[in-house]
Chain A
Amino acid sequence: MGRKKKKQMKPWCWYCNRDFDDEKILIQHQKAKHFKCHICHKKLYTGPGLAIHCMQVHKETIDGVPNAIPGRTDIELEIYGMEGIPEKDVEERRRVLEQKTQDNQKKKQQDDSDEDDDDEEAGPSFQQPVTTVQPQGAYVPMTQPGMAPVPAPGMPLGSYSGMPPMMPGVPPMMPGMLPVMPRMPPGMMPMSGMMPPTHGMPPMMPGMPPGLPPHMGHHPGIPHMAQAPPTSTRPAVPATTVSTPQPSVSKPLFPSAGQVQQAGSGVAVSSSAPPSAAPKPTFPAYTQSSATAAANTSSTVAKPGTPVTSKPATLTTTSATSKLIHPDEDISLEELRAQLPRYQCKIPSAGQAHVTSPPVAPMGGVLPPQQGIPAQQPGVRHPMQGPYGALPQGVPGYVPGGMPPYGQAPPMVPPFQAAPPRPTIGMRPPVMSPGGRY
């Protein structure tokens, strides 16, 4: 697609050495076979994730990855799909694959010319470094850019992130769609994922209004696999789809976008561009619902090394592998800092607060401020006139919207004068003095 291939080999499972066609299936496999909790059957995302889950939820330790071959049971290694596999194992695998292909070729050739050459066995080994270097060389640049390795987990992550917005929308579709989803056996994953070029089987998706032919691009793929169910859902389907062909919608706000968005929002918010825009063959609903079926959870994606935040009061910051450099309270750094007495708002003393000297410089007068002399410009509409010690701090009495002066300084000021909110008022030295802050 848009990225260089990071691995030329087919995805394989580090834990049990099985091969897979697609990384998505690989991940599903790992979750089901290696990262599944034996107590509650919850599918986690990684080995350490499983270990942590068992410890926290069941108070039980596990000493190895389930269903893994000996030597590959390390529960500490963070492997997700093809990510995190130790380099030496990758090489070893490559070598093994090379060897297999070599063996196959050898058997076919049955060449005797190398008999006297006792490098016959060394031959493959010479070639291996040559061949392995190249893929490695290709591999490296991709790991260099900080972003590159991440997209892989990021891709599925992206799919999750794409999902969450979808999730709320999915339920509205559910009534009719539900029957559709279960029809998708895991083997369907690659199909939906790859968006098969239209099978051109509209009839397969009965009940879907003709207005959605492009969406059909997906549907056909599904019934294609599981023949029986489609018929049963026929009646159900029309029910949901009624909502989709809504005309208008909220403004095609962002012209570049258009098209079908998350189908869920398409129904709920009806913000997808309507009949127009040759909607692409990809039907987001399916991509995401299939992702849902596979992913099994909605928005939570625990990525390597980062703990999940807990609720408001505090953040969960540390884990064995990482530490968030941030104070524990789950409020923003600015909020935390603004609470300090030193940053509480002060009333400026006379003449210090604002610059009101007349313009002088060429630039149109942006000028060095000097002691503003409020008296100089009475009409200045300055709420902060020194002598008044005004303080438009939104003091409850003053109101939101109760705004200060717009050309009427005098009348406006007195109210402010009335009740300076803070006890520390007025005593503070002018802010402009260096460090003279308390």
Chain B
Amino acid sequence: MSLFGTNTGFGSGGTGVFGSTTTDSHNPMKDVEVTSPPDDSISCLAFSPPTMPGNFLIGGSWANDVRCWEVQDNGQTVPKAQQMHTGPVLDVCWSDDGSKVFTASCDKTAKMWDLNSNQTIQIAQHEGPIRTIHWIKAPNYSCVMTGSWDKTLKFWDTRSPNPMMSLQMPERCYCADVVYPMAVVATAERGLIVYQLENQPSEFRRIESPLKHQHRCVAIFKDKQSKPTGFALGSIEGRVAIHYINPPNPAKDNFTFKCHRSNGTNTATPQDIYAVNAISFHPVHGTLATVGSDGRFSFWDKDARTKLKTSEQLDQPITACCFNNNGNIFAYASSYDWSKGHEYYNPQKKNYIFLRNAAEELKPRNKK
């Protein structure tokens, strides 16, 4: 049932096929493979919100498409639909009610995909590729936030062609996250800005970066009362900073940790340091997952400051990850991220999205 335009691989039926190749390095963790993966690198993944029954996964790719799969309880994935942009898709997000998907692309537009009717309309326009897109649901307004390489952050009411608001950023937007009423945007040149979204979005604070290298990914975490209280910021230098917005003791509470590096303790050979491509927080446990260019994912407990698990190494970098709404599923995408430049790109190489049961492995360790 090749739902999608074409399939280079599986496509015969919607069953999750386990790695059928002889070498297992493409799926050393033996996780469930999503069927009909995109034909080029996957840039972003997003699971449906709890307001919808079931689990639906959206993935955007460098093949200009956005695909939707239904993930069934038995682990089977069923391709459902696909939409296209005219340029690579860099970010996707769901509306809070699960009826719409927003997609952002290098073609400088963002679209709203109504899943019920399977129609898309353009809802945003920038002067440069749109790198991030997030849905904001506030008590007194709802809108889509887009961050672009044109150094602006725009807010769109989907019914109007003009942005409700446009905020200037110091540099190109590299990554962002939103957990109402807080939004964090990390830009080029290690810029870091926190916005508050109550009443209307406004810049809250510019923070001097806790990291010394290019920012790559950011994810907001919440406190025990489910209020956003800080964020995790990943850089290209195999390091993640945990930063609280208003900590009682910044010197002690904020910290960074190294990750996604090769040969940890062996000092004889130079250590390879990989970029952290994405960070996701488990919606229930508050622990986090990081995925890197080294082709591994790791789970961490930021409160106990310990590592929970590191995966085996996949043969390709892991470019995106996300948890489903109840934290039972961890999805991660294995595809080339350009970390070694143009030379290592192989268009024939298959891209994968894997699903892993995340219920147990992300439980926090007991504090010692």
- A binding-site residues for B, Cβ under 8 Å: 1-4, 145-148, 150-151, 154-155, 157-159, 161-168, 250-251, 253-259, 261-262, 265, 269, 271, 280, 282, 284, 287-288, 291, 299-301, 303, 305-306, 308-309, 312, 315, 318-327, 330-338, 340, 343-348, 352-359, 361, 363-369, 377, 380-384, 391-394, 396, 398-406, 430-435, 437
Contact = CB atoms under 8 A, between A and B. Distances in A.
* Those 7 A-B pairs whose CB atoms lie nearest each other, nearest first: A257-B246, A403-B161, A162-B250, A432-B5, A159-B251, A394-B108, A164-B208
Interface of B: 3-8, 39, 43, 56, 62-65, 68, 70, 79-84, 86-88, 90, 99, 106-109, 115-129, 131, 149-150, 159-163, 166, 172, 174, 181-182, 188-189, 196, 198, 204-205, 207-210, 212-214, 216, 223, 225, 227-229, 236-237, 239, 241, 243-259, 261, 264, 267, 270-275, 293-294, 298, 300, 303-307, 310, 337-342, 347-348, 367-368
B255 A151 contact: yes
A164 B251 CA distance: 10
A399 B122 CA distance: 14
A157 B305 CA distance: 14
Given A165-B208, A333-B338, A394-B127, A146 B81 contact: no
Contact of B86 (A145, A345, A358): A345
Contact of B341 (A4, A309, A327): A327
Contacts of A340: 342
Nearest to A255: B227
Given A4-B368, A253-B196, A353 B161 contact: no
Given A253-B181, A333-B339, A406-B160, A154 B204 contact: no
B337 A333 contact: yes
A66 B30 CA distance: 53
Contacts of A167: 208
Nearest to B225: A256
Contacts of B249: 162, 280, 282, 284, 287
B333 to A, nearest CB: 14
29 contacts: A3-B368, A147-B300, A150-B257, A151-B305, A162-B251, A163-B250, A253-B196, A271-B205, A309-B212, A315-B213, A315-B214, A323-B270, A332-B172, A335-B172, A336-B338, A343-B88, A353-B86, A356-B118, A358-B117, A364-B99, A382-B119, A400-B127, A402-B125, A403-B124, A404-B122, A406-B159, A431-B64, A434-B6, A434-B8
Given A250-B204, A343-B88, A382-B120, A161 B254 contact: yes
Contact of A254 (B207, B245, B264): B245
A291 B251 contact: yes
A340 B106 CA distance: 12
Given A366-B68, A435-B8, A259 B246 contact: yes
B300 to A, nearest CB: 7
Contacts of A432: 4-6, 65, 84
B229 A257 contact: yes
A432 B36 CA distance: 13
B310 A146 contact: yes
Contacts of A330: 214
Given A154-B257, A334-B90, A398-B125, A392 B229 contact: no
Q: State the majority secondary structure of interface residues on A.
A: loop
Contacts of A352: 84
B144 to A, nearest CB: 13
A399 B125 contact: yes
Nearest to B236: A326
Contact of B244 (A163, A257, A363, A404): A257
Contacts of A365: 115-118
A365 B246 CA distance: 45
A431 B65 contact: yes
Nearest to B340: A325
A382 B256 contact: no
A2 B254 CA distance: 13
Contacts of B5: 430, 432-434
A250 B243 CA distance: 20
Contact of B116 (A4, A323, A366): A366
A269 B232 CA distance: 23
B271 A381 contact: no
Contacts of B273: 305-306, 322-325
A18 B68 CA distance: 63
A403 B122 CA distance: 8
B81 A392 contact: no
B293 A394 contact: no
Nearest to A2: B367
Given A353-B86, A403-B125, A435-B347, A393 B245 contact: no
